[in-house]
Amino acid sequence: MNSFLDKLIRFEVLDLYQWLVEHRITLDEQSCSYCYTPMTFKIVSSTTDGCVFRCTNTSCLKYETTKSIRTHSWISNFKIPIKEIIKSIYLWSCGRLYTEIKQECRISAPVFIRLRKLLINKIQTFWSRNPIKLGGPNIIVQVDEMKLNHNVKAHRGRTSIRPTWILTMVDTSTTPALGYAEIIPNKEAGTIIPIIERVVRSGSKIHSDEAKVYKVLQRSENYEHSWVTHKYHFVDPNTGTHTQNVESFNNKIKRKSKDRNGIDDDKRKDFLSEFLFLDHQKEKAFDVILELLML
């Protein structure tokens, strides 16, 4: 069993509370709402969490009134056991699907949807503060577009009326290659080039297919652009230019979409934000999301 999950399962009430305080998920003290004096932490096995804060000021009109350790914490929005919340987040951070998580955690689909929405909101905050930047002087960044149209089961295999196109880019200086993906309303130069200029650092070498939209980059002073004509080659025999890394990245996105039986149109932006976070952070995803939840 994973060492963290094993430790989580073995946590006694006080161990779990101390871990929550250490990660600033719960407060280390609460004040009485009536006398405003600090309350005392108590182990109370009959309560949901096995512990509470209790007013021990005998002069207080509400002497012995209690507060949950969840008070003033985001976990107060969830009524399931705290261990199940943390366990679900950990498994999510490992890229596990809900169908897998529900086998190990006592969490219903509606509750998991709310929890995942909270995590995605935190991820969006993370990306607003840490925008993805790729490439740099003499580093190759491969660029491509792909159609994200794996249909949900309810569509019964019919093609979506409104296909969703995304622009994808990968930095080939890392292993595995780190990437970026963004939904685009069209495949025109006026849409695609500003995204490239925002994400790809000046001095990068951009490799693409032969699509006309990228030919604008030939006039750019910030990038060196080369392309491969897929009609004839997977790898250009003269320049060595190819787009295999970004195509592999596209396949990862498609597999993840397929694993979820497709993504509804209105959820695709969240899907990409979540995918990029887990793909970039990898084994650090759990620690990073815990830090985001502290905010």
How many residues can be counted in the chain? Answer: 295
CB of 66 within 8 A of CB of 49? Answer: no
293 inside domain: no
Q: What's this model's pTM, rounded to 2 decimal places?
A: 0.90
**Cis (ω within 30 of 0) for the bond into 176?**
yes
Q: Of 78, 101, 124, which residue sits at a domain end? A: 78
Provide the pairing of β-strand 66-67 with 140-147: unpaired
Per residue in 94-103, pLDDT tens? Answer: 999 999 999 9
Q: Of 78, 103, 118, which residue sits at a domain end? A: 78
116 inside domain: no
159: which 2 tokens? 């093609």
Alpha-carbon distance of 263 to 166, in angstroms, equals: 13
Is residue 258 domain-shared with residue 181, that is, in the same domain?
Answer: yes
126 inside domain: no
Q: Of 78, 93, 125, which residue sits at a domain end? A: 78
Is residue 155 domain-shared with residue 28, that is, in the same domain?
Answer: no
- Number of structural domains (the chain) is 2
Coil vs helix vs strand at 4: helix
Is residue 152 domain-shared with residue 274, that is, in the same domain?
Answer: yes
Is residue 144 domain-shared with residue 262, that is, in the same domain?
Answer: yes
114 inside domain: no
Mean local confidence (pLDDT), 13-35: 96
Alpha-carbon distance of 74 to 156, in angstroms, equals: 38
Alpha-carbon distance of 228 to 210, in angstroms, equals: 6
pLDDT at 2 over 60: yes
Split at pLDDT 50, 70, 90, the class of 122 is very high
Is residue 60 domain-shared with residue 156, that is, in the same domain?
Answer: no
The confidence score (pLDDT) of residue 231 equals 84
Q: Which residues is 181 bridged to in the sheet? A: 168
The confidence score (pLDDT) of residue 295 equals 62
The confidence score (pLDDT) of residue 8 equals 95
CB of 106 within 8 A of CB of 93? Answer: no
Split at pLDDT 50, 70, 90, the class of 155 is very low
Instruction: List the domain range (segments joined by +) for residue 43.
Output: 3-78
